[in-house]
């Protein structure tokens, strides 16, 4: 572990790094103590800063990005994706939340709708997360499932600190029919490229034109670096997926999206990218105020004309969403009909308009929509709760 380097920006990324007593000797805390200057590290008994009742203020939210807290997670790590809801055509999968918060700063970030933790938190008890997955694997050894770690924290933006990808990839060698999805807007992949794997790791980039990255995704990696990192992962034998998400309307959007599709299609062949998903801008109504306070009205996101859709989120109207989906889809298809394209977190109406098919009928995706896995997981959770009840 000692030999694995870190990004030169990491040691100054945080004003302060708090390490909970119980986590002080965990591998991630020991590495943090090597990376960050001693004067920035503080050993604490509990989370610093009071937790507000509901939402963080803009100042508290901005501060949370500069304060890191390492502690043990008290709940269960391994969960069903919360995106699966009636009325949405979502790719069913499971999540492993290894932290809460993000060191990057996208204007539209959905964490703004619910985050009330005043510090960026990384959980130090990874072995517990691995154990929870192992229990499910032993119980259901045949099930094919996908597990993502990028739900409440970026999978890789702090991975040069945690090195969790290395342990996860090693764990997934024991479950070659499972897939691990590492989802990111960073370009940090060097720390795991040497780890032996079972060909079941998907490294997944959210992509946008560089103009939008500059405008709406502060502190994320530039497009060219994300694509270069994807090429390294491809060379190491990992699967790739790309997400054009969120598509954001702005003057010149067609030219910008045409350019980014041209970048992708010139650097990758359709068979090298498992899927490309599209999602249009969406956000929870409760985050609008915070976005405006934090980014003003210069952002294309805060300026956007949006409407509340059936699931409560604000989205562009259906015609504009379809126009944007159709444009990007046709740019890919102009290059080749073989790109595996889908929409995620979209309403059924948009799916029917854009692809005339639901996700499970897109070739190669059927197995991800297998209700068997979710039923088995519900049963597994029930047993866990019953056992906890008996042990109390």
Residues that bind ligand SF4 (CB under 6 A): 102, 104-106, 109, 111, 154, 185, 220
Q: Are 327 and 132 in contact (CB under 8 A)?
A: no
122 or 175: CB nearest ligand SF4: 122
Separation in Å, CA 322 to CA 45, 302, 347, 358? 51, 21, 11, 15
109 or 362: CB nearest ligand SF4: 109
| Burial status of residue 154 (CB atoms within 10 A of its CB: 0-12, 13-18, 19 or more) | buried
- Closest distance of CB 281 from ligand SF4, Å: 12
104 or 318: CB nearest ligand SF4: 104
State the Cα–Cα distance between residues 219 and 215, nearest whole angstrom: 11
- Closest distance of CB 249 from ligand SF4, Å: 18
Q: Return the structure tokens found at 369.
A: 């929509």
- Closest distance of CB 104 from ligand SF4, Å: 4
3-state secondary structure of 174: coil
Closest CA to 184 of 203, 164, 160, 165: 203
Q: Are 370 and 296 in contact (CB under 8 A)?
A: no
Q: Return the structure tokens found at 307.
A: 């409407």
220 or 299: CB nearest ligand SF4: 220
- Closest distance of CB 109 from ligand SF4, Å: 3
**In which order are the strands placed within the sheet that holds 314-315?**
282-283, 314-315, 307-308
104 or 228: CB nearest ligand SF4: 104
Q: Return the structure tokens found at 21.
A: 């007593």
92 or 157: CB nearest ligand SF4: 157
- Closest distance of CB 219 from ligand SF4, Å: 8
3-state secondary structure of 41: strand
- Closest distance of CB 124 from ligand SF4, Å: 20
């Amino acid at each position: 572990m000692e030999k694995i380097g870190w990004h030169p920006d990491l040691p100054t990324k945080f004003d302060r790094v708090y390490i909970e007593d119980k986590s002080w000797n965990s591998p991630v805390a020991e590495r943090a103590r090597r990376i960050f200057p001693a004067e920035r590290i503080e050993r604490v008994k509990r989370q610093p800063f009071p937790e507000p009742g509901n939402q963080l203020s803009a100042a508290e939210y901005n501060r949370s990005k500069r304060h890191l807290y390492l502690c043990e997670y008290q709940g269960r790590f391994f969960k069903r994706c919360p995106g699966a809801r009636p009325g949405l055509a979502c790719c069913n999968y499971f999540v492993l939340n290894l932290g809460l918060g993000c060191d990057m700063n996208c204007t539209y970030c959905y964490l703004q709708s619910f985050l009330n933790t005043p510090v960026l938190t990384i959980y130090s008890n990874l072995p517990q997360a691995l154990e929870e997955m192992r229990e499910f694997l032993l119980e259901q050894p045949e099930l094919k499932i996908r597990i993502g770690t990028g739900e409440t924290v970026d999978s890789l933006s702090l991975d040069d600190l945690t090195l969790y990808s290395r342990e996860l990839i090693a764990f997934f060698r024991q479950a070659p029919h499972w897939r691990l999805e590492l989802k990111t807007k960073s370009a940090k992949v060097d720390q795991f490229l040497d780890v032996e794997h079972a060909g079941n790791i998907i490294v997944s980039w959210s992509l946008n034109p560089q103009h939008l990255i500059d405008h709406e995704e502060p502190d994320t990696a530039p497009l060219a670096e994300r694509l270069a990192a994807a090429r390294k992962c491809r060379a190491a034998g990992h699967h790739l997926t790309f997400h054009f998400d969120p598509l954001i309307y702005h003057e010149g959007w067609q030219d910008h999206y045409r350019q980014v599709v041209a970048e992708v299609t010139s650097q990758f062949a359709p068979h090298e990218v498992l899927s490309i998903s599209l999602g249009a801008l969406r956000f929870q109504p409760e985050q609008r105020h915070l976005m405006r306070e934090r980014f003003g009205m210069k952002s294309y996101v805060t300026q956007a004309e949006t409407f509340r859709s059936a699931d409560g989120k604000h989205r562009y109207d259906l015609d504009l969403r379809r126009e944007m989906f159709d444009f990007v889809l046709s740019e890919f298809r102009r290059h080749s009909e073989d790109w595996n394209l889908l929409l995620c977190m979209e309403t059924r109406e948009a799916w029917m308009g854009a692809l005339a098919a639901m996700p499970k009928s897109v070739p190669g995706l059927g197995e991800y929509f297998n209700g068997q896995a979710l039923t088995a997981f519900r049963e597994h959770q029930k047993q866990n709760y019953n056992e906890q009840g008996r042990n109390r």
